[in-house]
Structure 1
Amino acid sequence: MKLINGPIIKKNFLGKKHLGITEYLGSKFNVTNNVVMLIYNKNLSVCPLTTHIPLKDVSKTISKQRIISHVKKINDFYKKKFNKKPSFAITGLNPHCE
C-alpha cells in the first residue's frame, strides 16, 4: 500500500483525539502502539523519533527502547520492501515539532 498525505488543518481534521496525522493513520489501521513516521526517498529517509509533541516533552519521551524499536521497524521496512540493509544515523531531538 502507498499513501501520500497533503497539508491539513489539524484542529479541524483531527480534533483532540489525535496528536497528528501519523497517530490518526495509525488508529485507522489499528496500529496504536509505537507508530512510526518514515519520510522516504531513495537517497535519504528520515524517521523522527518523536512526533507532534511540544519540545518541552521530548526529553521525557525519548528512551533507549524507543530508539531500538524505531530502528528495528525501519530496518524491517527496508528488508521487506527493498531487500536492503539500511545505514542509520541518529540525530536531533524533535525536528518535526510545530
Structure 2
Amino acid sequence: MLWTDALEEIIRSWTRFVFGYGPGQYVSDVQQYAPTDKKNIHNYFLQIAHGFGATTLAVIVSYFFWIFHQFGALTSSPVAAFWIFNLHAKFDVG
C-alpha cells in the first residue's frame, strides 16, 4: 500500500514526476499500516523518484547499468557483494 500511495503521488503531476517533491517530503496517508514509519516508502527506486524525480532516477539506473557493463554480475567476490547488497537495498520492504 505504501508503494501504491507513493506511485500515485509521483504520477499526479508532470512537474513532480520529472523533478520530484524534494528529499524527505513523503508522508504516507496509510497510517493504519505504517504507524511508526510514515516517511519511508521501503523501495529505493520509488523513494528516489518521489524525492528527486524521474530524471535523477534515470541517472542512478544508468550508473548501475554502467557498473554491470564494466564489471559484470558475479565476476569476483567484491562485485557479487556489491550486487547482492544493492539489490536487497532497492527492494527492502521493511
Q: Same fold (TM over 0.5)?
A: no
When the two structures are superposed, what TM-score results if normalisation uses the length of structure 2? Answer: 0.25
Give the number of the structure whose alpha-carbon radius of gyration is greater. Answer: 2
Higher relative contact order (CA 8 A, sep 6+): 2
User: Per residue, is there more helix in 1 or in 2?
Assistant: 2
When the two structures are superposed, what TM-score results if normalisation uses the length of structure 1? Answer: 0.25
